Each structure stands twice: as C-alpha cells, then as structure tokens.
C-alpha cells in the first residue's frame, strides 16, 4: 500500500483546483486567469479591501498605454461597504459619477475620467458571503 502513496498523491494534487496565475499574450492583448494584480489602468482606490483577482484582460495601443481593460474580482466585503467606497471615491473629483442603476440584484456605476476615459463597475451578489465585482475601462482618445 505504501508504494502506491506517491502515485495517489500525484493524482489527488492534479485533481485539486489551482489558483496558479495563467497569462496569455496575443500581440497587444493580455489575458490573465488568477492574476496577482490588476491592470494599471484601474484606479485601485475603487477596489474593496483584500480583493481576490479572478480574471483580467487588457488591450494596449502601445507598450504602456491601455486602450481597454476588464477585471473580475471577488470580495468578502459587504456590498454596502463596496458601494460606499465607490461613491466616496467618485466624489473626490477626478472620476465623475455619470449614472448609477440597480437591477436584478446588481448595482452598476458609470464614471467618466479626465482625457476621455470611462469606467464601469458592476457589483453582483453571488448568494453567499462574497460578491463579484467587474470593472471595465475604456480610453476614448489616442493620447
């Protein structure tokens, strides 16, 4: 029985879910699964405390300038606290809150930033103690 233990451990570890980061690059597009950090286009002051990044994608017009980006994260912070953080952060002035809607258990924010940038934030309750938060960023100019 002991001689099969290493083989059994190998099979069990292969079946266990992994949170290893996977990064795929296609010219100007970068797609990540379980990223260790968010794309730099997103203002992190909108993020909840201790977020768990699940997916991200980024389209760059050059080596450093992001044209579009997407981020999916999970948080154990309450939806009320997340909403308060977003609304407080939007009141600081560099991101203007354009629209806020609540529909089917989701809260959506549309914000506009300087130099023709837009940011959408969608908060969804997944029915347990965690919430999903999706961020969409788009830069509408070439500078």
Beta bridge partners of 52: 74
Domain count, the chain: 1
Residue 3 lies in a domain: no
Residue 1 lies in a domain: no
Residue 45 lies in a domain: yes
Strand pairing class (66-75; 131-139): antiparallel
Residue 135 lies in a domain: yes
Residue 33 lies in a domain: yes
What's 87's domain CATH number? 3.30.310
Residue 29 lies in a domain: yes
Residue 12 lies in a domain: no
Place of tokens 């529909």: 103
pLDDT for position 10: 47
Residue 71 lies in a domain: yes
Choice between 9 and 25, residue whose per-residue pLDDT is larger: 25
Please determine, for residue 1, whether its predicted confidence score (pLDDT) is greater than 50. no
Residue 21 CA to residue 82 CA, distance in Å, equals 25
Express each pLDDT in 45-77 by its tens digit.
999 989 999 999 999 887 778 899 999 999 999
Residue 57 CA to residue 29 CA, distance in Å, equals 7
Express each pLDDT in 22-41 by its tens digit.
999 988 889 999 999 999 88
Express each pLDDT in 82-141 by its tens digit.
999 999 999 988 899 999 999 988 999 999 998 889 999 999 987 778 899 999 999 987
pTM of this structure: 0.81
- Domain of residue 48 covers 20-139
pLDDT for position 129: 82
């Amino acid at each position: 029985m002991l001689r099969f233990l290493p083989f059994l451990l190998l099979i069990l570890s292969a079946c266990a879910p992994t949170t290893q980061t996977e990064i795929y690059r296609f010219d100007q597009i970068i797609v990540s699964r379980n990223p260790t950090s968010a794309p730099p286009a997103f203002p992190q002051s909108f993020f909840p405390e201790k977020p768990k990044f699940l997916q991200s994608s980024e389209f760059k017009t050059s080596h450093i300038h992001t044209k579009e980006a997407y981020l999916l994260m999970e948080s154990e912070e309450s939806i009320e606290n997340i909403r308060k953080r977003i609304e407080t952060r939007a009141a600081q002035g560099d991101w203007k809150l354009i629209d806020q809607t609540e529909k089917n258990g989701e809260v959506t924010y549309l914000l506009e930033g300087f130099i023709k940038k837009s940011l959408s934030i969608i908060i969804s309750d997944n029915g347990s103690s965690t919430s999903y938060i999706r961020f969409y960023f788009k830069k509408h100019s070439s500078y």
